[in-house]
Structure 1
Amino acid sequence: MKSGIDARIKLGSVPPNKGKKKLWTGGEDTQFKKGHKPHNYVPVGSERVNGDDYVDIKIADPNMWRGKHLLIWEQQCGHAVPRGHAVIFGDGDRRNFDSDNLILVTRGQLAIMNNRGFIQKDAELTRTGIILADIIKKIGERKRSKRIPEGEHFGWVKVLNLLKCTCSKTGIGRGMKVSLMKMNEADQTITHKLLQ
């Protein structure tokens, strides 16, 4: 059904609001003014605790935050945290920013450590947990690539089980030392080959 009226805009027509800046009336009192800051604004350098219980520092406006532990680690090491890595707290305390407590690990190491409970309440034990994570990762890589000779497979499992057993009884750090002392020469050779 057609009315016969052509309501299309004609070529060369001038819009009715051309040159006008204000197209409303009223409401100016409640509008944000230039340079206005919200009531919850905090300056750059402020700290907050995020939802994961990490301390963040505001590094730029309007709303850029970064983990305090990352900034401290980068300041001490002189470079950014490499891609695919994370900085963890050796003793598990997210308020302990001591340089000896901040440890750089790969995401792969972190996944194994979280899965196996290798992050302890002591930084040295956690560092030993990193070594165990590397051993477990290497065993998995060799199994997948079938680089473990058939006769040596039992040796790899034996080494790992020995480490697991003594670590669970004596604590990771001491367990690692006890395990290495208890190994015979063949097992030590396998362990060294594993870590290469």
Structure 2
Amino acid sequence: MKIIIVGGGAAGFFAAIHAASKGREVFILEKSPKLLSKVKISGGGRCNVTHRLMPNSQLVKNYPRGEKFLKKAFTHFSIPDTWTWFESRGVKLKTESDGRVFPQSDSSQSIIDALMKASEDAGVKIKTRQAVESIKEENGKYILSVSGSEITADKLIIASGGSPSSSGYSFFIKAKS
């Protein structure tokens, strides 16, 4: 099974690592030349990884519009799972007085290195400068027009993050026509 993930940020990497660990062929397509760029600058360059340990029932109260969805999601992967995932990859974490959790190194590079190494170990194939121009579905397959060529996938994960304008989602509009 071939899975394509659109977006080379933290969510894209995490999805790719998880999917590839199940023995699937996984590709990350990132339109820019840089990977994990928001991770690099988050938390003032230290990368705020998660929040202090708390029960899921308390955690979801911080997200009133997404509480129901997140309650279910956090049963699959919660704050303790985040701690375990990073620390099992050599990234020690610390909790600050305001509850934010950072790598003990105080460097986002620790998080970037862990994600890059885990993706490499899982066999994820990464392609930068790959802008998705359109997506269509035919016979249960996804066909992506990417930087002038076509790529086919069995499954597709969109992890493109926020965009300052609707143009960041133009491939969705083209996919409907």
**TM-score using structure 2 length:** 0.22
Q: Identify, as 1 or 2, the structure richer in strand.
A: 2
Q: Identify, as 1 or 2, the structure richer in helix.
A: 1
Q: Pick the structure with greater CA Rg.
A: 1
Higher RCO (C-alpha 8 Å, min separation 6): 2
